Amino acid sequence: MDHRIKSITHVFLAGALGWLTLALWPTPLLAQTPETPQTLWTASQNGGLTVPTYWFVLASGLALLVPAGLTLVAVSGLEPGRAWDAALGGVAAMGLAALGYWAIGFALHFGGVGLVYDLPGLRDLVWEWSPLPSDWGTGWGMAGLSGWFLAGRDVTPLTYALFLAHLPWVLTAALLPNLALRGRAPVTATLLLPLLMGGFIYPLAGNWVRGGGWLGALGRNLNLGHGLVDFGGAGTVHLVAAGVALAALVVWVPRRPRRPVAATPVPPAQLPLLAVAGSLLFLAGSLGWLWSNPLQVSALQEVALLRGSVNLILFACGGVLVPLIYTWFVTGTSSPVLSARGLTAGVVAGLAVGPFVQPAPAFLIGFLAGLTVPFITFLVDGILRLDDATGTISVSGIPAVVGLLLLAIFADGTAGQGWHLTGVESYLGVTGQGVSGLLVAPGYQIDFPGQLQAQIIGILTLGLWGFLVGMIICAPLGLLLYSLRRAGVTSGQSLPTADLADGRPEGRSSLHPEPLSSPLGSPANPVNPSVSREG
């Protein structure tokens, strides 16, 4: 089985290196010429950057390293059998998520974005559904209603750029819960979840924050700062995906016996190269992840772009320290898995704040996010016994919360002028003030606790959205498939497909029979292994 894991490693590394070589290789297309390169628009909001069209193509391609890196980090802590299954399931999940996002997800996400961003390329994306009448205020949108299938003659280059920029976000949101469940949940569930993530769950969350929805409008409607600020999708991608994964783990995870604290092992690392390479790919891809979005590039000035890039490195540096030192202190040797997860957690927290903080707070935010990794890992696996072997909760969910909260403390007001159409000319009486928190730069006004309240509302909304929708999908599906399987076992007939499979404890081969267990983790009556279907 180990040779198959090595094959996966070689494929991922070869693909990543090949793409980086292609992206960085000098070509006549990318070389500077006396002519002005074609751009998506000729004027930007608030003096933001105007960049050539190929910028978004290259940045979006670089951002595809994020789901690849997360896959390597996740499977590095699995047993060989489950690692193989999770890697293949991740590829299937990304394909289904992309299909769902292209068909209906993009329309739900950005169908009304033209109401918030006055850009010529968004003139047809102005249909947003709101359950509240207009006298409650504008911006209470819940879902976009235009842009289905990216079809029609009026689809602009900016529309395609938006789709390309957010496709890696969609793939990541679908990948995270699927990696945690492959080998344990029914195949039906691991195919249905990514399709719904790409077509429904993630797009609605994204609409509420950056697509003209109500969370982004909390500042305009309720005077709560600039509304929910989630610069790089820490909430809409990682927190929502972690909520779905938590719901699915509660439904399908095989619970292990409670272990004493002293006996709780550090997560295994069959191939440390997987974890280390994956975390570095994730870091590199996050640069493209942040700056492939044309809405963000058009709203920020050059200094904010460069400060956000520097901050990203500092998020990673801070995140890796605590797991590295903690595992060395506890076990006598540093764990590559926990260290890589700490680096990843630091970057996830940093996605929430991006360029809105100074470099020193950026390092501190990454440090605090990395600090949570070993302790949340112990809480989830050792005490709650949810067996989150891929670390979705500790690497994505909790760090996203840390980043979203700390933005309300450390945002200094120098970047993000007019964010979510709040304070376009001036904010709190200061011309040019942007997203602000408690500790602002000299000359700017403190925006506290308004921004903190908006962040808390957003965290609760996105976390509950992922968890509750995950439970609504997983619990009935799990009970249905479990009932069908049990009926087939009782009748003494083998089931026709593997779709009705219960989850297998990690490392157990599908060629060996196992006791029947319910989808909610409670044991069922033993059955004759001779009539059990194959996993």
* pLDDT, tens only, 348-362: 999 999 999 999 999
CA-nearest of 362, 321, 366 to 345 is 366
Domain that residue 363 falls in: 53-477
Is 446 in contact with 436 (CB distance < 8 Å)?
Answer: yes
Question: Does the residue 354 lie in any domain?
Answer: yes
Spatial separation of the C-alpha atoms in residues 307 and 47, rounded to whole Å: 17
* 129 strand-pairing partners: 143
Q: Can you give the pTM of this predicted structure?
A: 0.85
Amino acid at 413: G
CA-nearest of 52, 79, 155 to 110 is 155
| All residues at 6 or more sequence positions from 336 whose CB lies less than 8 Å from its CB, including other chains | 76, 269, 272, 275, 276
**CATH code at position 393:** 1.10.3430.10
Is residue 143 classed as helix, strand or coil in its secondary structure?
strand
CA-CA distances (angstroms) from residue 36 to 55, 305, 463, 489? 14, 21, 45, 70
Strand pairing class (128-129; 430-431) = unpaired
User: For residues 91 and 166, what is the distance between their CA atoms, to the nearest angstrom?
Assistant: 17
Angle between helices 359-377 and 398-410 (to 10 degrees): 150
Whether 101 and 198 have beta carbons less than 8 Å apart is answered as yes
Q: Which residues contact 372 (CB under 8 A, 6 or more apart)?
A: 345, 394, 398, 399, 402
| Bridge partner residues of 517 (DSSP) | 523
* Domain presence at residue 246: yes
Q: Three-class SS of residue 413? A: coil
Q: How far is CA 79 from CA 1, 13, 63, 532, in A?
A: 10, 20, 28, 24
Distance of CA 57 to the CA centre of its chain: 20
143 forms beta bridges with 129
**Angle at alpha carbon of residue 440, lines to 437 and 443, rounded to 5°:** 135
pLDDT digits (tens, 9 = 90+) for 134-151: 777 677 999 999 999 999
In a domain, 34, yes or no: no
Instruction: Report the run of H or E that residue 189 belongs to, with start and end.
Output: helix 187-196
Q: Which amino acid is at 1?
A: M
Residue 416 covered by a domain:
yes
Instruction: For residue 260, say if its preceding peptide bond is cis, omega within 30 degrees of 0.
Output: no
Rounded Cα distance, 147 and 122, in Å: 10
Label the pairing between strands 426-427 and 128-129: unpaired
Report which secondary-structure segment, H or E, holds 129.
Answer: strand 128-129
Neighbouring C-beta atoms of residue 359, cutoff 10 Å: 12
Please indicate, yes or no, if residue 172 is contained in any of the structural domains.
Answer: yes
Does 225 fall in a domain? yes
Along the 535 residues of the chain, how does pLDDT read in single tens digits? Answer: 455 555 555 555 555 555 444 444 443 333 333 334 455 544 444 556 678 889 999 999 999 999 999 999 999 888 877 888 888 899 999 999 999 999 999 999 999 999 988 888 998 999 999 998 877 767 799 999 999 999 987 799 999 999 999 999 999 999 999 999 887 888 888 999 999 999 999 999 999 999 999 999 999 999 999 999 999 999 999 999 999 999 999 998 665 555 554 444 554 445 688 899 999 999 999 999 999 999 988 888 889 999 999 999 999 999 999 999 999 999 998 999 999 999 999 999 999 999 999 999 999 999 999 999 999 999 999 899 888 989 999 999 999 999 999 999 999 999 999 999 999 999 999 999 999 999 999 999 999 999 999 999 999 999 999 999 999 999 999 888 878 878 777 766 554 444 444 444 444 433 333 343 445 554 444 434 343 434 3
Amino acid at 134: S
* Alpha-carbon span 490 to 488, nearest angstrom: 5
CB environment 447-481: b (16+ within 10 A), e (fewer): bbebbbbbbbbbbebbbebbbebbbebbbebbeeb
Tally of domains within the chain = 1
Q: Is residue 328 in some structural domain?
A: yes
Sign of CA dihedral 38, 39, 41, 42: negative
Q: Is the residue at 390 inside a domain?
A: yes
